[in-house]
Structure 1
Amino acid sequence: MSLREEAAQLRQDIENEQRDKLKIALFGQPGAGKSSLINQIVGQPVVKTGASTDMTTEAQVIAHDELLLVDLPGYGTTRFPPNQWMEQFKPEELDLFLCVFSGKFHEADSKFFKELREKGRICLFVRNKRDDLWEDGKTQEELEAEIAADVHRQVGSEEPVHFVSCRTRGGLAELVDAIYAALDPAKREKYARSAKAFSMAHLEAKRAACEKAVYKYAGLAAANGLNPIPGVNVGVDISIMFKLFADVRSAYGLTDEKVNKLIPSLLPLGKRVLDYSTKEGIALLLKRFAGKGASVQIGRFVPFIGQAVAAAAGFGLTLAAGKSYLNDCHELAERILAAELGIAEQP
């Protein structure tokens, strides 16, 4: 296959991947904290939250990078009877369901879960507001065991119940692990790139998923070769590299606002991340790596980009620049997360 043909196929693969979003639906009773959980998953306040009233009167779709988070309205209500609900919201088109509840587990949620099970859909049970659990004379573990037992009784099987707190972020790392386990590998990569990391292991999964994007975009930028880099005897499509860098920054949640609020010790790294995210900064970074070539083995990624693309003039240059930017973003995100988790930096 020629370079032109491989580049066209690679472009189509990227477009298809971006179009095929990971769709996660949340359902549950009013006041369960679905909106708060969505905000925690993406790491940004993307949904308005309500303390006690039902903020969801119709399905709300929140698009975030490669995620589509669907906040579903109540099942089996006068507004949405079961048959009408199934016809309108089409659960077979969604990848994963989170049944979110707080307080007593409701019969309507149990009925909906059984419907989903009959359709072969995967559903995780999430008991939100874990920090509010308290009863005189009982431990946290005893209260959680009672709640899990009630869920098991109502749904007729011993499904795991994940206890989380959006206020303290307790249990969210374990919930993310459960979400990963419930998804096929390609969908896990989408979740890793798009969702907030709550542990260092999650950040490593994010890096691995972003690395594949770096190879694909770097290959396409080199294959297009539209813009000659001053002082470098190759051409690169800067607009593709600009999209790559923007996607990597977004994957790590490194918005301008967040970077500009960093503590002084992180500001130099944060400034580098911002400076290299512009088209002018990308050109400078490419020039910096001119002549150095790719610093890592590319063989295992050839199936993703093609032999001709891997051999294209400028691929080593775009790959080195892309991986350098990924490393900077990862290091910055790692140090921010360490501070959030209270982990002391190594001297």
Structure 2
Amino acid sequence: MLSARRLAQGDPGLLAAIERSQRLLHRRALVAGAASALPVPGLDWAVDAALLSRLIPAINHHFGLTPQQIDRLDPRERDKLQKAIAQVGALLVGKFITQDLLLRSARLIGVRLTTVQVARFVPLVGQAASAAIGYGAIRFLGQQHIQDCVRVVRQAGLALPPPTD
């Protein structure tokens, strides 16, 4: 699979949005990893859900793909965007993030559930493995979402919003 940077094909606006999104993703994935290392049942899933419910809209915002940003597009651009979203098959692009959407996304990393639950109770090595898996799972979902955003923006031919951070 192509990386988001390669999908951007040198577009400076897309590359900047990717960079901002990846910085944000890295910080959030570190928090998820730390929560996964703690031997408190269910804490990692609560943290993951909270992180994803804020992370996905923030990434969408960098690419001009929040529901509010989409509503401001003229009708022709909005139609092109909706077709691009459907063609790419992006689950979380341009949508309000609901618990159902988060659960469907989390199924992509379902193996993590049992591995982390068992591993975190093994002193040190298990907790380190749990932290790495927690970090990797959120990072994987975030990278997939960034790639979806790049594909949608390129397919629809949209201009990106100016950076806000």
TM-score range, shorter chain: 0.5 to 0.7
Deviations 1:266-298 (A, max 9, x none): 241476214583333122212212338xxxxxx
Q: Report the counterpart of residue 146 of structure 2 in structure 1.
A: 326
Q: Report the counterpart of residue 58 of structure 2 in structure 1.
A: 247
Q: Is the aligned partner of 1:262 residue 2:79?
A: yes
Residue 215 (structure 1) aligned to one of 26, 42, 51:
26
TM-score by length of 2: 0.57
Flag structure 1 segments of 5+ consecutive residues without an equivalent: 1-198, 293-307, 341-347
TM-score by length of 1: 0.30
Flag structure 2 segments of 5+ consecutive residues without an equivalent: 1-9, 113-127, 160-165
Report SS of the residue matched to 1:253: coil
Q: Report the counterpart of residue 136 of structure 2 in structure 1.
A: 316
The 5 Å alignment of 1:129-208 reads 200-208=11-19
Aligned-residue sequence identity (percent) comes to 16
How far 1:332 sits from its partner (Å)? 1.4
Residue 280 (structure 1) aligned to one of 76, 100, 111:
100
Paired residues of 1:249 and 1:329 also in contact (CA < 8 A): yes
Asked which structure has the greater RCO (Cα within 8 Å, sep 6+), the reply is 2
Question: What is the root-mean-square deviation of aligned Cα atoms in Å?
Answer: 3.5
Change (3 A) 1:279 1:220: farther
Deviations 1:284-332 (A, max 9, x none): 212212338xxxxxxxxxxxxxxx6994442221111111111112221
Q: Distance in 2 between matches of 1:319 and 1:251?
A: 17
Q: Which letter does structure 1 place at the counterpart of 2:84? A: L
Paired residues of 2:28 and 2:51 also in contact (CA < 8 A): yes
